[in-house]
Structure 1
Amino acid sequence: MTRRRSRRALLRAGAVAVTGLAGCVGSLDIPDDGRRQSDTTRSSPAETSPAGETQSTTESETTRAPTVELDPIDVRSSFFYLTTPDSLDVEAVEATQFVFVRVRPRTDAPRPSDFALVADDRHFWGTLAPGDVGGPHRLSEFGSVYRAGKRRSGWVAFEVPNPLDAEAVALTYDDWRWSLDEDRLAALRAPPPDFELVSFEAPEEVAHDESFDATVVVENAGEGDGVFRASLNQAGPAYAPHRAAVEVPAGERRERTWTFGDSVTRKTERVNLRLESAVTDRETSVEVLGGTTPDSAVN
């Protein structure tokens, strides 16, 4: 199934205020797949000079420290982004994957486009606007975004083909190169997943003092393993996103269940749920029998 691009990114461009990002979504759990920090290696210009060229052995060239550090964060076929301060969607672009990298300035803070992911003889330049989601302020799970000219760490993204057909892959800036670990290289080269939403279920009604479950079943019909990302956005009585990142091997199915406790159903007449994913969107409404709205509740 072809992945959709984010459909409402431009329509909702004004919906998310930058000042509101520290609120509801910032406390969400890290996705299930987690993040791995990898060791990086660097080579100085003297180590990469063409054969036959005289190499200087002065201290300034052989021992100088890099002006920035690049640390890979993750390789992904999709990522979460904010649509409002209280809801999330998932971005995926056909035949594209995203490499997120932490930039740690030392003595220099260059432009994001000065960094490159080099795959054989192809260069993919750094960006702060991966996909089509309306800007870097909509991405919250990687922490602060990198800013040129500011001496603080932040993320930069690279968009590369999915899969990436390359023997030699490295991050570069100026004369420095940082290698990627074997796990991330394998992820870049692997065939992409192809997710299909099998089902999305929740009860039509529930008693006001009972909990209930909402369950999604997803199948990976592709040739490569992958992570299915989805956000179950809740409206009533509270507004909140509940995100999930589920590892699904090629050719298999996986199930994810969200449980809503009696604290959700006690003070409302209806709970509206909308599932957002890179595959498709679904929505449902759960009627709360005997429930009351906060305005009609008797103190």
Structure 2
Amino acid sequence: MPSGRRAFLTSVGAAATGLAGCLDGGESSRSPTRTPTASPSDTAAPDAVALGDSVSIDGVTVTVSDLVTAHSVRYLSAPDAMDVLPTSDDQFVFVDVSAGGSGTTPSSHRFGLVADATPYGSGIEYIGPARVDAPVTGRQYGASNPDGFLGFRVPAPLDAESVAVVLGGDGPERTDMQPDPDDVAARWSVPPAAVTPLRSPPPVFAASVDVPASVPATEPIPVTLDVRNEGDGPGVFRAAINHQGPQYGATGIDRSLAAGESITHEVTVDYYRDDDTTPGRVQFAVVGPDLSEFFEVGLDGGGTPAGTGTATGGSR
């Protein structure tokens, strides 16, 4: 088999910082109305509820649940392609938010994350309204999507004993301003077990990608990634294969690595084997943290045979 092409990457690039919030961890002078099924945590502050509980505010029942942490986000950058947004000295926190009722859906800007007394606003720069594929799926919470995720960006490791998600009480209208720190309408306490991963140092991934220059048209194309976590903390290496012809689409790659661990991940590209006519080449890109490598692999024995092409144009 012809020798392959090899591309080296090191995932240590720092992405732009997320939007900063203007909340603090102060107690609210306004007590939220709990739904009958909600039950506060035994260790929560008097005006706090447990993550997963519901709070009724201004005719809307709001639930914050399913906290997930990550050091990278894979998202849909085009209808048939994905990209990966990494971090270096910070990390992402995602929660699921749902709101329903006769009142106005609270703006996403009214939510914040408070670590001890340090506030962080919602929103992840550069992703915008794009659909996220991992570590959560779907679209961001908002007025047009009242059941979706909210993302926050915080330091890694996070030096905090307590973490909570708060909803500001600055009214139901949509605004680009963060909630008033002296007017918090609801507070969801994050359990200690979910805070522990936030205190871990971040991973640092280094990886190489190996793809052959050509393969027989009857065989799949092997794609090999050698990945090493050179950081002091565990994490998930996220990447994607973006097919760019003749078929278009994207395939995600997720591998968990402990600090110092190395793995070899093998995947194949073989959709062309189901086609009636095998193409002469296949094109795709492998993307990940600080990685965007394009490959064009020849298929020996594929393509339209000489002299059988369809004629175009008028007669002479």
TM-score, structure 1 normalization: 0.73
**1:125-144 superposed matches below 5 A:** 125-127=121-123, 130-133=124-127, 135-140=128-133, 142-144=137-139
Aligned to 1:287: 298
Deviations 1:184-228 (A, max 9, x none): 31221110000011x211222111112231111110000000000
- Read off the aligned partner of 1:47 and give its amino acid letter: P
Aligned to 2:91: 97
TM-score, structure 2 normalization: 0.69
Runs of 4+ in 1 over 4 A off after TM superposition: 39-43, 63-66, 293-299
- Read off the aligned partner of 2:256 and give its amino acid letter: E
Which one of the candidate residues 78, 83, 88 is aligned to 1:84? 78
> Counterpart of 1:281 in 2: which secondary structure?
strand
Which one of the candidate residues 167, 170, 190 is aligned to 2:161? 167
- Read off the aligned partner of 1:165 and give its amino acid letter: D
Higher-Rg member (1/2) = 2
- Read off the aligned partner of 1:163 and give its amino acid letter: P
Aligned to 1:278: 289
> Counterpart of 1:106 in 2: which secondary structure?
strand
**Hey, which of these two has a bigger chunk of helix by percent?**
1
Kindly indicate whether residue 252 of structure 2 is the aligned counterpart of residue 252 of structure 1: no
Deviations 1:158-191 (A, max 9, x none): 1111111101111112343222244431221110
Asked if structure 2 preserves the Cα contact closer than 8 Å seen for 1:90 and 1:230, the reply is yes
- CA shift for structure 1 position 282: 2.4
Q: Structure 2: which 5+ runs fail to align?
A: 1-9, 17-37, 49-53, 168-183, 311-316
Distance 1:267 1:46, change over 3 A: closer
Q: Distance in 1 between matches of 2:298 and 2:151?
A: 42
- Read off the aligned partner of 1:137 and give its amino acid letter: A
Distance 1:175 1:288, change over 3 A: same
Aligned to 1:19: none
Q: How many residue pairs were aligned?
A: 248
Distance 1:211 1:164, change over 3 A: same
Kindly indicate whether residue 140 of structure 2 is the aligned counterpart of residue 145 of structure 1: yes
- Read off the aligned partner of 2:109 and give its amino acid letter: S
Deviations 1:88-119 (A, max 9, x none): 11001332211111111134521112111110
> Counterpart of 1:136 in 2: which secondary structure?
coil
Deviations 1:130-172 (A, max 9, x none): 1323x21243552232123x58311111111111110111111
> Counterpart of 2:231 in 1: which secondary structure?
coil
Taking only the aligned residue pairs, the percentage that are identical comes to 31
Deviations 1:8-39 (A, max 9, x none): xxxxxxxxxxxxxxxxxxxxxxxxxxxxxxx9
Q: Structure 1: which 5+ runs fail to align?
A: 7-38, 50-62
Aligned to 1:113: 109
Aligned to 2:227: 218
Aligned to 2:241: 232
- CA shift for structure 1 position 298: 8.1
- Read off the aligned partner of 1:246 and give its amino acid letter: R
Which one of the candidate residues 198, 209, 212 is aligned to 1:203? 212
Q: Distance in 2 between matches of 1:212 and 1:286?
A: 8
Q: Distance in 2 between matches of 1:132 and 1:228?
A: 20
Asked if structure 2 preserves the Cα contact closer than 8 Å seen for 1:204 and 1:285, the reply is yes
